[in-house]
Structure 1
Amino acid sequence: MAMDDRLAELNPKPRTCVVLGGRGFLGRSLVLRLLNIGKWIVRVADSTQSLQLDPSERDSLLSQALSSGRASLHGVDVRDTSQIIAAIEGSSVVFYLDGDDLPTHDFCQCYMIVVQGAKNVISACRDCKVRRLIYNSSADVVFDGSKDILNGDESLAYPWKFDDMLSDLKAQAESLILHSNDIDGLLTCVLRPSNVFGPGDTHLVPFFVNLAKSGWGKFIIGSGENMSDFTYVENVTLAHICAEEALEFRMVSAAGKAFFITNLEPANFWVFVLLILECLGCQRPLLKVPAKMAWYTLLFIKRVSEKYGKIKYNNLMSAHYIQLASRSRTFDCTAAQNQIGYSPVVSLEEGVKLTVQSFSNIARNSSIPTFRNFNEESKVEKLLGSGEVADILLWRDEKKTFTYFLALSMLYYWFFLSGRTFASSLSKLLLLVSFGLYGYGILPPKMLGFTLKTLSLSCFEIPEMVVKEKIATIAYLWNRGVCYLRLLAQGDGWYIFFKFAASFFFLKLILSHASTVSLGVALVLAFTLFFVCEQYESEIDGLAKLLFNRFISVSGSLRTNVPASVQQYLQKRGILHHDKGAATVKHQK
């Protein structure tokens, strides 16, 4: 806070400033900071729809400032120059922030607000002899999605083409403001914060939460290794104060320039998203999807939606988001540090903590899918034995699982879809393996600069302990099967009889004419069904509980309506017994 104290000492008389867009997410934070300094008369200018104070603001610093005259509210439409003049006349500095509720679906209206609005603000500042104009832009103005930005600085040029309309319009607006510097005594400066977040966020955090609630929230787009810069909202408001101070006392260093603003802590994009979602109790992304696949899927859904209108197009998933989520975007803030004296005061870790606390109501919302703790063993994993098979079928390692799936698919084609008999397919496969091993054996130790590892005899040997374990397992299964057959021969165990009957029935279906199709379906289901069951374990448990309760209710109703003659017959057979006057079914062991 040393800078704020220095400003107070140098300027004992309160000065008037205007915050255009002061009721937005960033604008509210900036207004509070200006009021906290204590040497500003703040005019909060925004659209008439945004001027009403929230119930939580009735006893806030802003409310007290409005009562004491240190702050005032002004309804301003930036498309109307006369309204801007009425709000900024007599002020020494204007902080210009675009509103949060821009109509991105309407290009003409959005252009009038962003670009024409910037022209009107510049014109009004000149007419009113305002000395300083600071515009809040975005780091998106130098990003077109075609390549990564690693430690980019202010020398980056605007792209030739933008895929995001808002970024294009902001680039035009900031260009107008920069080119108006030092004309009619007006000094201008542009700030480019990257991925602003914080308490009261209306864009970034709500976007991630809504994405988690949608079907797209399960996917990690791209490699998941891309880095990004995120900026806590209080650090952005500090940067505006620093820029104003630089224009006031060090005009040459900041006037007519743009500065990137970040937390100076580049982070993995998906680690940041996972941290936010986990702290809010939302469903976390799990599956990695190539960016091009996501792009073509989005394009297909969008075209089908536009043509037929039968598939609902989710505006959350956009081409711009796919680019942001799959590309690295980090920026160098050296110019902001050296020329306007910017230095973040809230760390990224602390910023995330404060943001999550402000969104605690989302964690209590039961309509949002929650994530499961993957440190705990799931029921499906226990069913699969919690070993290597479970790791493969549950996609713990995507590359390994895909390799196994591809190998099994090739074997399935070789033995069942090639049109050959099983014996001929096996003989040809062994022949190919023999030729492959022989060819690998005669290769030189080094070829084309690569060192080839020789295959040792241990690669073809099976450890004695493994052989003993397999033989013991086979013996155990054989003895268990003999035990079951003995029970069947003695006429005991209805449960075992139905279990054997059902097993042989399904085996007959599989080995019938549709055996090839059945094996193919089983192969696909093995690599999908277990994974899906693990992801929706809580939903499946809820459905099973509902069905079980319904079954108990129906069976109880049937028991009470069983005729007396049938009850006597079942009692003689030992299937029913009386419990406090009510006939109940006796479970067979």
Structure 2
Amino acid sequence: MAMVDDQSKTCLVLGGLSFVGRCLVARLLKLGNWIVRVADSAHSPQLDPDHNYDLHLNRALSTGRASYFHVDVRNKKSIINAIEGSSVVFYVDDDCSYNHDFFSGYTVIVQGVKNVISACQECKVKRLIYNSTADVVLDNSHDIHNGNETLLYATKFKNVYSELKAQAEATVLLANDMDGLLTCALRPSNIFGPGDKKLLPSLADVAKSSWAKSLSFQFIIGSDGSMCDYTYVENVAHALICADTALVSHMVTVSGKVFFITNLEPVSSWEFSLRMLEGLGYYRPMVKLPAVVIRLIVYVIKWMHSKTYSRNNSNPSVYNIVQLMSHSTIYDCSAAQHHIEYSPVVSLDEGMTSTIESFSHLAKDSSSVILDELYEQSKMQQLLGGGEVAEILLWRDERKSFFCFCGVVSLFYWFFLCERTIVSSTAQLLLLITFSLYGFSLLSTEMCSYSYFKVSETGMRNSVRNIVNIWNGVSHVIRSLAQGRNWSLFFKVVVLLYFLKLFLVNSFPNSLGIALAFSFIVFFVYEQYEEEIEGLTGILNELTRQYMVTETSLQLLNTSTRPSMSKDVR
């Protein structure tokens, strides 16, 4: 096989407006020794002047260093028009290029690759570099540790896109050294970066959705041992250029080969996702649940959806995220390092920082709103009235709450655990208070002042107002019960009275002690783990709702089939 003499620096980036394509075009233009042809399915490039990648392309289009072509990969003639005069073609399509059904995906991805190969051979293009994906070897049922290029294609692909990409990749590799065309393919793993339309937006969408409160980001799924490789988009663009250089200089070890591309920094899947979402202002969960539990819940919900034929309400993103977070996928990039001399140009931390900055529009709230939320009353504080009682029971001031807790325990012991009557306990307590006050006055007469024990007019008004509000509330409840229209209120009152009878009448001291102890614990614990508790409640509610919908649908189905069966019998 003869060496390829590469004199021309004209290249075509097919899919140049895609996520990876924009970055590759910008990087080629930065190098300064390329004339870049950009081809994509859009009739005209919609460039964002504030976007760093689009800024380079916009300048190059105005100076003539870049040109744009509208290409439909299903039409070979439009491909030839864009390719003519190029020495290398970078094919960097993504999963946004089809409508996510098998037929359209096959015509665009697989048949499109065949048309591109045929056009390259007809136009005497020397090199074709295909940007594939590491998902072609991933089946979401087995972990991959230091997987290299000897891995076979998955027997059961995670989705249609991965299956079609595997077919397209194999087609590109088989076309190597046919009619003078040299080919190779790259398999980047979990690409992320500015302009990403898949990984981070999907995580943000799930975090914002109703599922977030019931499943996805309230619990850490799986163990911390689940590791994944991620690849910053700048490193993917750099690897594509390295592959072209390697095809020119030592093509025997590169042509017809495939190479895994990562950031060479495996990281916990949850750690990566949560660091990204934390940068956008989302909550970080602390409760860990086994992946098998979450997977079982998702399977049950998907089964219920299939029974009720409600596919439009399903949320596959949750299922995909569970799969991603519960498996390890680590790839060995030593072949890429050795044969195409690839090494990351942007570290994982730097890539995450720049990605978070570019997705500020997906942030949960602006900084001012987040600051306001820090001072916003929690649900428990609102439930307790937001006053002094809430401050004590929620342990806002630990010293005050501790003394109040000790005081409540002491009073409970004094009145209920000491074998005395309520009257004698009250009398002895008043006697003890009298002696204490008299002794305090003897020790420090200056600090003792009768005005200190006076009730202020404002305090008395507030107390009377609270009593009146309670009285009016009870009157409103009684009036609603007397009208007999609010069944929800009726059942709430019945349940409350039943528990009062069960706990207070039958065992008043023990019930009161338990209530006092729990009042200093339950409210505080609920406020600290409010998101997790609501997440579990949301899961139970979702399962209950799905079960009720399934039962209702089955009943309607049985009802609709009975008349027809009776007619058949007649």
Answer yes or no: same fold by TM over 0.5: yes
* Residues 193, 231 of structure 1: 8 Å contact kept: yes
Judged with a 3 Å threshold, the aligned counterparts in structure 2 of structure 1 residues 486 and 256 are, in CA distance, closer, same or farther, namely farther
Judged with a 3 Å threshold, the aligned counterparts in structure 2 of structure 1 residues 149 and 477 are, in CA distance, closer, same or farther, namely same
Residue equivalent to 2:479: none
Correspondence 1:478 to 2:473: no
What's the secondary structure of 1:190's corresponding residue? strand
Give 1:127 deviation, angstroms. 1.2
Distance 1:122 1:532 in 2: 62
Residue equivalent to 1:317: 318
* One-letter code aligned to 1:256: G
Q: How does 1:179-190 map to 2 (within 5 A)?
A: 179-190=174-185
* One-letter code aligned to 1:336: A
Residue equivalent to 2:301: 301
Give 1:479 deviation, angstroms. 3.5
Correspondence 1:34 to 2:35: no
Distance 1:130 1:80 in 2: 18
Higher alpha-carbon deviation: 107-116 or 480-489 = 480-489
Residue equivalent to 2:487: none
* Residues 224, 288 of structure 1: 8 Å contact kept: no
Judged with a 3 Å threshold, the aligned counterparts in structure 2 of structure 1 residues 472 and 107 are, in CA distance, closer, same or farther, namely same
* Residues 280, 356 of structure 1: 8 Å contact kept: yes
Distance 1:167 1:174 in 2: 10
Q: Which has the higher contact order (CA 8 A, sep 6+)?
A: 2
Q: How does 1:94-109 map to 2 (within 5 A)?
A: 94-103=89-98, 105-109=100-104
Distance 2:67 2:530 in 1: 52
Distance 1:113 1:471 in 2: 73
Correspondence 1:116 to 2:116: no
Residue equivalent to 2:11: 17
Q: How does 1:134-153 map to 2 (within 5 A)?
A: 134-153=129-148
Ranges in structure 2 where 5+ consecutive residues have no aligned partner: 382-389, 397-404, 417-421, 432-454, 456-462, 475-492, 535-570
Distance 2:244 2:392 in 1: 62
Give 1:24 deviation, angstroms. 0.9
Counterpart among 497, 501, 518 of residue 508 in structure 1: 501
Judged with a 3 Å threshold, the aligned counterparts in structure 2 of structure 1 residues 298 and 488 are, in CA distance, closer, same or farther, namely same
* Residues 25, 100 of structure 1: 8 Å contact kept: no
Q: How does 1:462-541 map to 2 (within 5 A)?
A: 475-479=410-414, 485=426, 507-510=500-503, 533-536=527-530
Give per-residue Cα distances to partners, 1:448-476, cap 9 Å, x unaligned: xxxxxxxxxxxxxxxxxxxxxx9998655
Counterpart among 28, 32, 37 of residue 43 in structure 1: 37
* Residues 276, 356 of structure 1: 8 Å contact kept: yes
Distance 1:88 1:217 in 2: 46
Counterpart among 80, 83, 86 of residue 81 in structure 2: 86
Give per-residue Cα distances to partners, 1:44-82, cap 9 Å, x unaligned: 111125722234369822111111111111111111111
Please identify which structure carries the higher helix content.
2
What's the secondary structure of 2:183's corresponding residue? strand
* Residues 138, 158 of structure 2: 8 Å contact kept: no
Counterpart among 161, 164, 169 of residue 166 in structure 1: 161
Judged with a 3 Å threshold, the aligned counterparts in structure 2 of structure 1 residues 363 and 304 are, in CA distance, closer, same or farther, namely same
Judged with a 3 Å threshold, the aligned counterparts in structure 2 of structure 1 residues 270 and 505 are, in CA distance, closer, same or farther, namely same
Judged with a 3 Å threshold, the aligned counterparts in structure 2 of structure 1 residues 528 and 272 are, in CA distance, closer, same or farther, namely farther
What's the secondary structure of 2:17's corresponding residue? coil
* Residues 228, 268 of structure 2: 8 Å contact kept: yes
Judged with a 3 Å threshold, the aligned counterparts in structure 2 of structure 1 residues 471 and 217 are, in CA distance, closer, same or farther, namely closer
Residue equivalent to 2:55: 60
Distance 1:132 1:57 in 2: 30
* One-letter code aligned to 2:163: D
* Residues 149, 331 of structure 1: 8 Å contact kept: yes
Give per-residue Cα distances to partners, 1:168-207, cap 9 Å, x unaligned: 1111111111111111111111111111111111111111
Residue equivalent to 1:246: 246
Give per-residue Cα distances to partners, 1:457-509, cap 9 Å, x unaligned: xxxxxxxxxxxxx999865533377699569999x99999x99x999996424
* Residues 394, 523 of structure 2: 8 Å contact kept: no
* Residues 235, 346 of structure 2: 8 Å contact kept: yes
* Residues 45, 76 of structure 1: 8 Å contact kept: yes
Q: How does 1:140-539 map to 2 (within 5 A)?
A: 140-214=135-209, 215=211, 216-308=216-308, 312-318=313-319, 320-363=320-363, 365=365, 383=393, 475-479=410-414, 485=426, 507-510=500-503, 533-536=527-530
Give 1:307 deviation, angstroms. 4.0
* One-letter code aligned to 1:18: L
Judged with a 3 Å threshold, the aligned counterparts in structure 2 of structure 1 residues 170 and 487 are, in CA distance, closer, same or farther, namely farther
* Residues 24, 100 of structure 1: 8 Å contact kept: no
Distance 1:532 1:312 in 2: 31
What's the secondary structure of 2:318's corresponding residue? coil
Judged with a 3 Å threshold, the aligned counterparts in structure 2 of structure 1 residues 163 and 194 are, in CA distance, closer, same or farther, namely closer
Residue equivalent to 2:419: none
What's the secondary structure of 2:96's corresponding residue? coil
Q: TM-score, normalised by structure 2?
A: 0.66
Judged with a 3 Å threshold, the aligned counterparts in structure 2 of structure 1 residues 486 and 134 are, in CA distance, closer, same or farther, namely farther
What's the secondary structure of 1:146's corresponding residue? coil
* One-letter code aligned to 2:109: V
Higher alpha-carbon deviation: 358-367 or 75-84 = 358-367
What's the secondary structure of 1:48's corresponding residue? coil
* Residues 212, 218 of structure 1: 8 Å contact kept: no
Judged with a 3 Å threshold, the aligned counterparts in structure 2 of structure 1 residues 110 and 486 are, in CA distance, closer, same or farther, namely farther
Give per-residue Cα distances to partners, 1:357-377, cap 9 Å, x unaligned: 11123236469x97999xxx9
Q: Percent identity?
A: 49
Residue equivalent to 2:437: none
What's the secondary structure of 1:346's corresponding residue? coil
Distance 2:85 2:527 in 1: 66
Q: TM-score, normalised by structure 1?
A: 0.64
Distance 2:362 2:500 in 1: 49
What's the secondary structure of 2:317's corresponding residue? coil
